[in-house]
Amino acid sequence: MISGILQYEFLQNAFLTGMIIGIIAPLLGVFIVVRRLSLIADALSHVTLAGIAASLLLEKKFIGLSGLNPLYMGMAFSVAGSLFIEKLRAVYKHYQELAIPIILSGGIGLGVIFISLADGFNTDLFSYLFGSVSAVSRLDLWTILIISVLVIALVVLLYKELFLLSFDEEHAKASGIAAKSVHFIFIVMVALVIAASMRIVGILLVSSLMTLPVAASIRIAKGFKQTIFLSMLFGEISVLGGLTISYYIDLAPGGTIVMIAVLILIATILLKKLAGIKPA
């Protein structure tokens, strides 16, 4: 496979992109999980689907738009979806979790309409749903790289604020930090990372790359920084392992990546159990 990576550009694109999202998806995933917002990732990935379907539809109906990269429209929809979620959370103050199913079903509804209107796509929709080793272009790779640099820089710069917002939202607001702005930046970052990850893991499985490595790391980590570090490590192992297996057996990488993440999760739970049996 190493020779394959050296030889074929599409494999380079897939593995480099995979390495990047294996880091940034769990990085944001840690904050999502501890803030109990796991389902937001699901809602936004379905909105991203609507964006991609819209882009493919435009591409099919208007020949002039054939160069349109679905990634951009997916990102635009995802970011718009994240803003709608925030609006809805403000409207339904006492039922904040309602925002998620509303946006999720809205996203699917819109996506299904676009797909039906297009009467089937030339591009393999399957690869968007479950990921693909061959579909990542060089342009996708560059776009995702830029987003990742931005996201990592923002998380490092806003680490204190993001930590406080996650640990104790009320205290964050009371102590006068710009909680609203930080949260806004955070949710837009989540939207971008979801759109960036969908080429590799697929829309239906994006959220698992953000939550499963975190679920495993939270079982065994000491402290928040270690939780982040282990999550990124588990994410990276899942993505690289999953891509390798999918390349050899010709499976959709979304499935193999997620199954490795599940195995890691089970291993950490067992590890913790075994450690608990030993007398302290």
Partner 1 sequence: MEQPIIEIAHVSYRYEKENVLEDINLTINSGDFLGIVGPNGSGKSTLLKLILNLLKVQKGSVKLFGQEISRFKDWQNIGFVSQKANSFNTGFPATVFEVVSSGLTKKLGLFKFMGKADQAKVMRAIESVGMHEYAGRNIGELSGGQQQRVFIARALVSDPKLLILDEPTVGVDVKNVQSFYEMLDDLNKELGITLLLVTHDIGTISDKVTHVACLNKNLHFHGNTAEFESLNKNEMSEIYGHDVHVLTHNHDHHHHHHHDKGADR
> Residue 163 CB, nearest distance to partner 1 (Å)?
6
Looking at residues 134 to 153 of the shown chain, list those that interact with partner 1 (rule: CB under 8 A): none
For tokens 């970052």, name the residue: 189
State the Cα–Cα distance between residues 72 and 173, nearest whole angstrom: 34
Hey, is 114 helix, strand or coil?
Answer: helix
Among residues 7, 222, 249, 280, the one that binds partner 1 under rule CB under 8 A: 222
The angle at the Cα of 248, spanning 245 to 254, to the nearest 5 degrees, equals 40
The reply on whether position 223 binds partner 1 by CB under 8 A is yes
The reply on whether position 272 binds partner 1 by CB under 8 A is no
The reply on whether position 34 binds partner 1 by CB under 8 A is yes
> Residue 170 CB, nearest distance to partner 1 (Å)?
7
Of 11 and 221, which CB lies nearer to partner 1 in the complex structure?
221
Among residues 91, 98, 117, 157, the one that binds partner 1 under rule CB under 8 A: 157
**Where does this chain touch partner 1 (CB under 8 A) — which range of 16-24, 47-55, 76-84, 163-171?**
163-171
For residue 141 the two structure tokens come to: 């790779």
The reply on whether position 67 binds partner 1 by CB under 8 A is no
> Residue 257 CB, nearest distance to partner 1 (Å)?
23
Q: Indicate left, alpha or beta for 250 from its phi (over 0: left) and psi (-120 to 50: alpha).
A: left
The reply on whether position 163 binds partner 1 by CB under 8 A is yes
State the Cα–Cα distance between residues 143 and 196, nearest whole angstrom: 8
Hey, is 223 helix, strand or coil?
Answer: coil
The reply on whether position 9 binds partner 1 by CB under 8 A is no
Handedness of CA 124, 196, 143, 22 (dihedral sign): negative
The reply on whether position 218 binds partner 1 by CB under 8 A is yes
State the Cα–Cα distance between residues 70 and 187, nearest whole angstrom: 21
- End-to-end alpha-carbon separation of the chain, Å? 45
> Residue 208 CB, nearest distance to partner 1 (Å)?
19
Looking at residues 167 to 186 of the shown chain, list those that interact with partner 1 (rule: CB under 8 A): 167-168, 170-172, 174-178
State the Cα–Cα distance between residues 193 and 142, nearest whole angstrom: 14
> Where along the sequence are the contacts to partner 1 (CB under 8 A)?
34, 36, 157-158, 160-161, 163-164, 166-168, 170-172, 174-178, 217-218, 221-227
